[in-house]
C-alpha cells in the first residue's frame, strides 16, 4: 500500500477546513486557491477527501496535473516535486486536501476486509427485526507489514507524530493490493496509531507493523 503519513498541508496557508480531519468541514473553491507551504517540501502524492468533481486540477511548479477523483483516498503523481506552492484550479467543494511523500509499504492481508456498520438492529421476542437508527457504514481491513518499514518511513512517522497522536486519519492507496481487496482508496484511522509499537529487525533497521484500518469521514 501507499500511505501518506506526514501531510505538509498542515504547515501551510491552506484554510482550516482543508486541514481538518473531519471531511464534513468543507470549503467551496471558486475560481482557484493558492496554498503556500511554510517551507519547500517534496511532494509525490495528493490526498483528496469529499470532493464533488470527477477531475481535480492542480498546478505545481508550472505543471498542470489533472487527477481523476473517484473517492476519498491517496492519488499518486507521476513524479516528485520540490515546491512551496500548490494551486487548485477547480470550482469545487473539498473536505480535506493533503500532500507529501507516499510511503510504499508492502503488505499481506492479515484478515478479510469487512463492510461494517455501527447501526445495531433489534430482534423482538417473536423474531422480527427492527431496523436500527443512526450510526454509519464503513469499510475495514487488517494488514501486516513484516519488516517492511525502513528508516525513510520512520522519518515520516516522526515528522507526523503530532497529528498521529491527535488521531488524524491517513490517506491510502491500495493499487498494488487491488487484486485482493474490493477497493483501492481509503481514508482511515489505524486503531493502533496512537501507540506506534514496532518490532525491530535483527541485522537491519527494519520494523514490522500491524495495521487495523477503519474508514473515517
CATH number at residue 43: 2.60.120.260
Closest C-alpha to 157, from 168, 173, 142, 143:
168
Phi-psi sector, 19: left (phi>0), alpha (psi -120 to 50), beta: alpha
pLDDT tens-place values along the chain, 217 residues long: 999 999 999 999 999 999 999 999 999 999 999 999 999 999 999 999 999 999 999 999 999 999 999 999 999 999 999 999 999 999 999 999 999 999 999 887 666 678 888 988 889 999 899 988 888 899 999 888 877 788 888 889 889 999 988 989 999 999 988 788 889 999 999 987 766 555 665 566 677 788 889 999 9
Domain boundary among 79, 102, 125: 102
pLDDT given at position 110: 63
Domain boundary among 102, 128, 153: 102
**Rounded Cα distance, 161 and 193, in Å:** 10
Please tell me whether residue 88 adopts helix, strand or coil conformation.
strand
pLDDT given at position 115: 86
| Cell numbers placing 37 | 507551504
Domain boundary among 54, 75, 102: 102
Write out the residue range of the structural domain in which residue 132 sits.
108-215
pLDDT given at position 203: 64
Residue 167 in contact with residue 21, Cβ under 8 Å?
Answer: yes
Kindly state whether residues 133 and 206 are assigned to the same domain.
yes
Kindly state whether residues 121 and 209 are assigned to the same domain.
yes
pLDDT in tens, 87-111: 999 999 999 999 999 999 988 766 6
Number of alpha carbons in the 13 Å side-chain half-sphere of residue 188? 24
Kindly state whether residues 169 and 211 are assigned to the same domain.
yes
Kindly state whether residues 125 and 178 are assigned to the same domain.
yes
Number of domains in the chain: 2
| CA distance to 21, 70, 94, 195, per residue, from 53 (Å) | 20, 9, 9, 36
Kind of pairing between the strands at 55-60 and 73-88? antiparallel
Tell how far CA 89 is from the center of its chain.
Answer: 22
Closest C-alpha to 52, from 75, 30, 80, 71:
71
pLDDT given at position 201: 56
pLDDT given at position 151: 83
**Rounded Cα distance, 107 and 172, in Å:** 13
pLDDT given at position 210: 83
pLDDT in tens, 21-34: 999 999 999 999 99
Amino acid at each position: 500500500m501507499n500511505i501518506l503519513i506526514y501531510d505538509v498541508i498542515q504547515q501551510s496557508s491552506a484554510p482550516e477546513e482543508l486541514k481538518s480531519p473531519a471531511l464534513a468541514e468543507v470549503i467551496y473553491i471558486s475560481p482557484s486557491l493558492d496554498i503556500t507551504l511554510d517551507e519547500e517540501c517534496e511532494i509525490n502524492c495528493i490526498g483528496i477527501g469529499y470532493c464533488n468533481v470527477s477531475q481535480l486540477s492542480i498546478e505545481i511548479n508550472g505543471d498542470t496535473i489533472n487527477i481523476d477523483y473517484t473517492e476519498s483516498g491517496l492519488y499518486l503523481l507521476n513524479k516528485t516535486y520540490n515546491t512551496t506552492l500548490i494551486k487548485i484550479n477547480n470550482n469545487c467543494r473539498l473536505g480535506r486536501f493533503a500532500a507529501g511523500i507516499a510511503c510504499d509499504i508492502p503488505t499481506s492481508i492479515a484478515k478479510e476486509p469487512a463492510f461494517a456498520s455501527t447501526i445495531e438492529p433489534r430482534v423482538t421476542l417473536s423474531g422480527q427485526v427492527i431496523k436500527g437508527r443512526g450510526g454509519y457504514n464503513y469499510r475495514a481491513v487488517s494488514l501486516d507489514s513484516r519488516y517492511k518499514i525502513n528508516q525513510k518511513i520512520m522519518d515520516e512517522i516522526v515528522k507526523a507524530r503530532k497529528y498521529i497522536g491527535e488521531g488524524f486519519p491517513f490517506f491510502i492507496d491500495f493499487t498494488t493490493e487491488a487484486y485482493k481487496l474490493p477497493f483501492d482508496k481509503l481514508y482511515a484511522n489505524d486503531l493502533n496509531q496512537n501507540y506506534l509499537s514496532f518490532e525491530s529487525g535483527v541485522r537491519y533497521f527494519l520494523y514490522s507493523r500491524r495495521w487495523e484500518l477503519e474508514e473515517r469521514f
